Amino acid sequence: MTPHHAGRPHIIVLGNEKGGSGKSTTAMHLVVALLHDGFKVGSIDCDARQGSFTRYVDNRKATAAGMLVPLPLPRHIPVERSGADSAIAGRDDEADRLAAALAELTDCDFIVIDTPGSDTSLSRLAHTLADTLITPLNDSFLDLDLLGRIDRDGEKILKPSVYSEMVWDQRKQRAINRGRPIDWIVMRNRLSSLDAKNKRDIGRLLEQLSKRIGFRIAPGFTERVIFRELFPRGLTLLDISRKDAGVTWRISHVAARQEVRELVDSLGLKDARAA
């Protein structure tokens, strides 16, 4: 049964200022998880120049055309960066483009927005819209530096980074405008084979930083070949149990799919939408 749509869509933004963290993969898996749960889902690619999220959706559409049973699809809109000469005109143009995309998706329950892995005006605009902000983070000191500056011994956080400060500014702006508070979630991806001590150290520092600047920590995805294999067909781990998916089911996929379900459950999106 499709849930009753009440009020405006709940907006989920995938954001950080570093590429290769898994934003587009995470965005697509969240979209499909919500679609499978019967929600009406829209998606927006604010990183249209790179276009990974858009190509993922396009690949999914092409695969769906050859399937016997319908494959759930979002209503997807890529938003291009402005080509205006001045920065002010560019920001205004991008704000209008993003607003037009949102207007087309107002009847959705959720809108999932992917952002560039860099600081752009379009990315900042998207962050201001977030009800839920998800920051995928590779499990390394280098990637942790995105959120907070670490001392030379790797023992403590010295101060928040420029990205954390940007998110803090957006949260303050939401509070000034009496908007819904941003639920910020750092998704801890384990994208490489790291020793147990390194994982403990990263976890300890993330806990320090979460208490200081106010985010939740969610489980992420382990590095698995299956994620790269599914992209050309636009499929996710939530699709591959289908007989017409054309994927040979392996036992490792069970653990990978469980990671996806654990992430979705930890986000509490269904409760957030009902609130």
Residues 56 and 252: their CA atoms lie apart, in Å, by 22
pLDDT confidence band for 194 (50 / 70 / 90): low
Would you say residue 137 has pLDDT above 70? yes
Q: For residue 23, which amino acid is it?
A: K
| Contact present, 60 and 256 (Cβ < 8 Å) | no
Would you say residue 5 has pLDDT above 60? no
Distance between alpha carbon 220 and the CA centroid of its chain, in Å?
A: 11
90-94, 107-111, 224-228: segment of lowest average pLDDT: 224-228
> Exposure pattern of 6-39 as b/e (b: 16+ CB <10 Å)?
eeebbbbbbbbbbeebbbbbbbbbbbbbbbebeb
Closest CA to 163 of 4, 21, 51: 21
Prediction pTM value: 0.89
| Average pLDDT in the chain | 85
Q: Is 142 left (phi over 0), alpha (psi -120 to 50) or beta?
A: alpha
* Element holding 158 (H helix, E strand): strand 157-160
Residues 33 and 41: their CA atoms lie apart, in Å, by 10
Q: 151: burial class by Cβ within 10 Å (0-12, 13-18, 19+)?
A: exposed
Give 65-91 as a DSSP string: HT-SSPPP--EEEE-PPP--SSHHHHH
Residue pLDDT, tens place only, 228-240: 888 998 999 888 7
Closest CA to 235 of 251, 216, 248, 252: 248
Q: If you ran DSSP here, which 8-state letter would residue 7 be given?
A: S
Residue 34 half-sphere exposure toward CB, CA atoms < 13 A: 30
What are the strands, taking DSSP E only, across 10-78?
10-14, 41-45, 75-78
- Say what the pLDDT of residue 13 is: 97
Would you say residue 3 has pLDDT above 50? no
- Say what the pLDDT of residue 2 is: 37
- Say what the pLDDT of residue 34 is: 95
Tell which wins on pLDDT, 67 or 7: 67
* Answer CATH for 10-274 from 3.40.50.300, 3.30.450.20, 1.10.8.10, 2.40.30.10: 3.40.50.300
Residues 269 and 51: their CA atoms lie apart, in Å, by 25
Determine the average pLDDT of the residues in 32-61: 94
Residues 54 and 52: their CA atoms lie apart, in Å, by 5
Cβ neighbors of 187 (< 8 A, separation 6 or more) are 22, 26, 134, 135, 136, 137, 218, 219, 220, 263
Cα distance between the two ends of the chain? 19
Residues 147 and 165: their CA atoms lie apart, in Å, by 9
Tell which wins on pLDDT, 20 or 206: 206
- Say what the pLDDT of residue 155 is: 82
